[in-house]
Amino acid sequence: MSLGAKHGAYCVGCCWVLMLLLFVGGVMNLLWIAVLTMIVIVEKHVVRGRSFGRVIGIGLMGWGLVTLWV
């Protein structure tokens, strides 16, 4: 198996939820893609980015639960 195929398989396996969100959001709303991009940039480049990512993740899970509940 070539290196590119291995990397592609790893990337899809690791980030399939983000890819799904990008597909759905990209089809629906460019603003959603911009917000996700900014979240990823802050998470990767800010000193406390890992904590920020966890807080955002918990918030999105809560939002999803509220959406399911209502």
pLDDT digits (tens, 9 = 90+) for 5-28: 888 888 777 777 877 877 777 777
Q: Please, are residues 36 and 25 in contact by the beta-carbon 8 Å criterion?
A: yes
User: What mean pLDDT is reported for the chain?
Assistant: 83
For the chain, domain boundaries: 3-69
What tokens were used for 69?
Answer: 């509940």
* Confidence label for 1 from pLDDT (cuts 50, 70 and 90): low
User: Global pTM?
Assistant: 0.58
How many residues are there in the chain?
Answer: 70
Cα 56 to Cα 4, 9, 59, distances in angstroms: 31, 26, 5
CA atoms of 49 and 7, how far apart (whole Å): 24
